[in-house]
């Protein structure tokens, strides 16, 4: 006879699960509403999503630091709180982009919003656990939802994008499972802190270390797919091109934050233990990613593809910080994405308002550079704002991304990697060229006369979002201090 298992409800500490449950419940509510009444307007669902996410945000902020829950698989430390906050805030600011003036296929389905919430829950599971299996489950939940969201955009190249992303994602998932299995086989645990304990005692055994390095590399490959790091980035430009601008902006920030958290947990632990090859591998990948993606971005003819490569390059930038494994470096990862989020939101929102059902400038691309020629004459405020986002992405002070860049570079200098800071600086110069290319088109060229306005898809909510992104980009200097000290406190409280 097996002993009956007694688990007391208090020991589960269910409050740690509350944020994800709220998001899932919100998704279910949206599905139920659709059951009862058809044909409701998308604005209802958008606002419901925002409200659910707000409650979610509240419950995350209310969590106590450094707790475990639900059979100890949920870990609420500083990183998981900061990243959940970023994920939820990112979701809140991106979802209102659905309120464009033109109707788009995907937003007429309430399932879009339900899936969106499930995806957010998936990301939250990913960041709030140090159990490799739960991370895997979160990763898959989020990814499967995201593939569907991409495919819902009713275009042939959206299907292409979704299938491509799905194939690559499935491959990445396979690598992740394989890597976890290897690590489990070698250390007997799937809890990262236990893995660290086991490895800590056996650090001298060379053959074990080689095998465990293999396991880590498998996980690195799978995360590199998710983070679109070189050489696993090839899906990104095509997927970005096929998906809607609103979703692409989201994809270039939020999933990456989640993946970075997993990377910090896994590789931060490995680097802490002194497995130097991991650090070297990450540095090499990071430098290659930022440099090659930048060079590829130079030759793009489509703004969205350019931004895709640029966001790959930004990911490489942040990946380099990961290799440093200091508290400052880990802080800089979140700071960078927090600042990058607003600028990226603005840039993709600007692309989104220029979205037209027809491709009127080019047979292949939605957003070729020519589309923005002479934007300053058509819509001066829009051009100035878009120019602002481009300069911010290029790292011109005092706009938001500059502060992220300088913080990452400072972290590199502090850790003794001055060459890395120099590489970052030179990469910013290459990057400045392609951002300037758009600025040049907008400000210094004449508009193509026979095509009408490019702010085709504009609506009041979108203007509010863009205005918000502009203020956040411009006024970064005023909120850097509280942001840095909050993130730094959270990161150092969780011991990274």
Kind plus residue range of the DSSP H or E element containing 319: helix 303-324
Number of residues that this document lists for the chain:
496
By CB under 8 A, residue 493 contacts another protein: no
Cis peptide before 265 (omega within 30 of 0): no
Give, for 128, the enclosing helix (H) or strand (E): none
Does 391 sit near another protein (CB under 8 A)? yes
Pair of tokens at residue 218: 């498998």
Out of 70, 225, 443, 496, the residue judged to bind another protein by CB under 8 A: 443
Judged by CB under 8 A, the residue of 484, 490, 491, 496 near another protein is: 484
Binding residues with another protein: total (CB under 8 A):
30
Residues 315 and 286 sit within 8 Å (Cβ to Cβ): no
Question: Residue 428, interface with another protein (CB under 8 A)?
Answer: yes
Q: How far is the CB of 436 from another protein (least distance, A)?
A: 6
Q: Which is nearer to another protein, 421 or 491 (CB)?
A: 421
3-state secondary structure of 107: helix
Regarding 398 and contact with another protein (CB under 8 A), the answer is yes
Whichever of 88 and 290 has its CB closer to another protein, that residue is 290
d(CA 373, CA 453): 11
Q: Does 410 bind another protein (CB under 8 A)?
A: yes
Q: Which tokens hold the place of 423?
A: 């590489």
Nearest CB to another protein, comparing residues 429 and 464: 429
Q: Does 393 bind another protein (CB under 8 A)?
A: no
Cβ pair 444, 309 in contact under 8 A: no
Stretch that binds another protein, among 79-87, 112-120, 319-327, 413-421 (CB under 8 A): 413-421
Q: Looking at 18-26, 343-351, 352-360, 476-484, which segment touches another protein (CB under 8 A)? A: 476-484
Q: Looking at beta carbons only, is 25 or 413 nearer to another protein?
A: 413
Distance CA 458, CA 408 (A): 35
* 429 lies in the binding site for another protein (CB under 8 A): yes
Q: Which is nearer to another protein, 345 or 421 (CB)?
A: 421
| Residue 449 three-state SS | coil
**Rounded to whole angstroms, how far apart are CA atoms 473 and 55?**
26
Binding to another protein by residue 413, rule CB under 8 A? yes
For another protein, which residue of 433, 448, 451, 464 counts as binding (CB under 8 A)? 433
DSSP 106: G
Report if residue 436 touches another protein, rule: CB under 8 A.
Answer: yes
- Of 62, 188, 231, 425, the residue at the interface with another protein (CB under 8 A) is 425
467 interacts with another protein by CB under 8 A: no
Residue with tokens 């080019």: 362
232, 219 Cβ separation under 8 angstroms: no
Q: How far apart are CA 229 and CA 10, in angstroms?
A: 42
Nearest to residue 123, comparing CAs of 152, 106, 146? 146
Which stretch in 131-139, 201-209, 292-300, 416-424 sits in contact with another protein by CB under 8 A? 416-424
Residue 488 binds to another protein (criterion: CB under 8 A): yes
When asked if residue 485 is in the footprint of another protein (CB under 8 A), the reply is yes
Cα–Cα dist 319/283, whole Å:
8
Residue 215's SS3 state is helix
Which residues contact another protein by CB under 8 A? 391, 396-398, 406-407, 409-410, 413-414, 418, 421-422, 425-426, 428-429, 432-433, 436, 439-440, 443-444, 477, 480-481, 484-485, 488
């Amino acid at each position: 006879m097996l002993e009956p298992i007694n688990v007391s409800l208090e020991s589960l500490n269910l409050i740690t699960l509350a944020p994800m449950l709220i998001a899932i419940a919100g998704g279910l509510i949206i599905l139920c509403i659709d059951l009862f009444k058809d044909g409701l307007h998308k604005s209802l669902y958008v606002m419901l999503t925002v409200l659910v996410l707000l409650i979610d945000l509240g419950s995350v902020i209310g969590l106590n630091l450094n707790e475990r829950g639900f059979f100890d698989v949920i870990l609420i430390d500083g990183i998981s709180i900061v990243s959940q906050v970023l994920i939820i805030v990112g979701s809140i600011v991106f979802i209102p982009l659905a309120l464009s003036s033109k109707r788009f296929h995907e937003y007429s389905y309430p399932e879009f919003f339900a899936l969106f919430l499930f995806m957010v829950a998936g990301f939250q599971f990913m960041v709030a656990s140090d159990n490799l299996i739960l991370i895997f489950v979160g990763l898959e939940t989020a990814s499967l939802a995201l593939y569907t969201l991409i495919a819902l955009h009713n275009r042939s190249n959206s299907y292409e994008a979704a299938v491509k992303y799905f194939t690559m994602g499935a491959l990445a998932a396979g690598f992740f499972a394989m890597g976890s299995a290897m690590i489990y086989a070698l250390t007997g645990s799937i809890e990262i802190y236990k893995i660290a304990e086991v490895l800590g005692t056996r650090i001298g055994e060379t053959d074990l270390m080689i095998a465990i390095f293999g396991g880590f590399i498998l996980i690195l490959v799978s995360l590199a797919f998710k983070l679109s790091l070189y050489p696993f980035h090839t899906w990104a430009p095509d997927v970005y091109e096929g998906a809607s601008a609103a979703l692409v902006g989201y994809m270039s920030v939020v999933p990456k934050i989640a993946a970075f958290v997993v990377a910090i947990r896994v590789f931060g632990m490995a680097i802490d233990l002194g497995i130097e090859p991991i650090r070297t591998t990450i540095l090499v990948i990071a430098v290659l990613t930022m440099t090659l993606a930048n060079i590829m971005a130079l030759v793009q003819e489509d703004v969205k593809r350019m931004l895709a490569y640029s966001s790959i390059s930004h990911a490489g930038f942040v990946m380099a910080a990961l290799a440093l494994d200091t508290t400052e470096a880990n802080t800089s990862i979140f700071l960078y994405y927090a600042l990058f989020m607003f600028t990226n939101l603005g840039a993709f929102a600007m692309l989104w308002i220029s979205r037209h059902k027809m491709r009127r400038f080019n047979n292949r691309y939605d957003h070729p550079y020519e589309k923005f020629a002479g934007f300053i004459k058509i819509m001066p405020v829009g051009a100035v704002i878009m120019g602002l986002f481009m300069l911010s992405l290029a790292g011109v002070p005092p706009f938001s991304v500059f502060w992220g860049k300088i913080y990452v570079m400072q972290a590199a200098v502090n850790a003794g990697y001055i060459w890395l800071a120099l590489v970052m600086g030179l990469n910013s110069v290459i990057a400045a060229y392609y951002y300037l290319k758009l600025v040049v088109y907008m400000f210094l060229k004449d508009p193509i006369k026979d095509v009408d306005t490019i702010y085709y898809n504009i609506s009041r909510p979108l203007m509010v979002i863009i205005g918000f992104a502009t203020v956040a980009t411009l006024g970064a200097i005023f909120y850097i201090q509280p942001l840095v000290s909050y993130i730094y406190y959270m990161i150092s409280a969780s011991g990274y």
